[in-house]
Amino acid sequence: MQRPLQITLRDISHSMAVESIIRDKAKKLEMHYPRIQGCKVVVGIPGKHKHQGKEFNVRIDLTVPGSEIVVTRDRHEDVYVALRDAFDAARRRLEDYGRRQRGEIKARTELANGEPIWEFAEEEEMAFV
């Protein structure tokens, strides 16, 4: 990452364990897409709703060349599960972004009547055996 990782814990007491897990998971994201320019993670407890237990929100903002990827995972009672789900979603979005950049995903266009047409970024010949 070109910019340092930013971690914000809102309405939660500072925890080195949570911070350590966030750092590890952010480092693993770089294995899936090494050109990440910046990462900001916000973990918090939403609003003042009264529930059985505390529910955690996780928001991950990833800055990549030419775009920004935002992942929000709402309301899970276990902060570690909320982090896992959010970072899994971020990993999937980074992988999709990388595939789109390499032209491996079909581009969707529509005709005037609204029917979709799927096209590959580059035409490839298929050989049948």
Joined tokens for residue 67: 């775009």
Given a cut of 70, whether residue 115 has pLDDT beyond it is: no
pLDDT of residue 114: 62
Main-chain dihedrals φ then ψ at residue 36, nearest 5 degrees: -65, 130
In the predicted model, what is the mean pLDDT of residues 45-60?
A: 76
CA distance 66 to 3: 16
- Confidence tier at 49 by pLDDT (50, 70, 90): low
- Confidence tier at 18 by pLDDT (50, 70, 90): very high
pLDDT of residue 117: 60
In the predicted model, what is the mean pLDDT of residues 26-50?
A: 85
pLDDT of residue 11: 84
Cβ–Cβ < 8 Å for 43, 82: yes
Name the 3-class secondary structure at 23. Answer: helix
Least confident range from 37-46, 50-59, 103-112: namely 103-112
Superfamily of domain 6-102: Ribosome hibernation promotion factor-like (3.30.160.100)
Cβ–Cβ < 8 Å for 57, 73: yes
Joined tokens for residue 81: 């599960």
Cβ–Cβ < 8 Å for 105, 99: yes
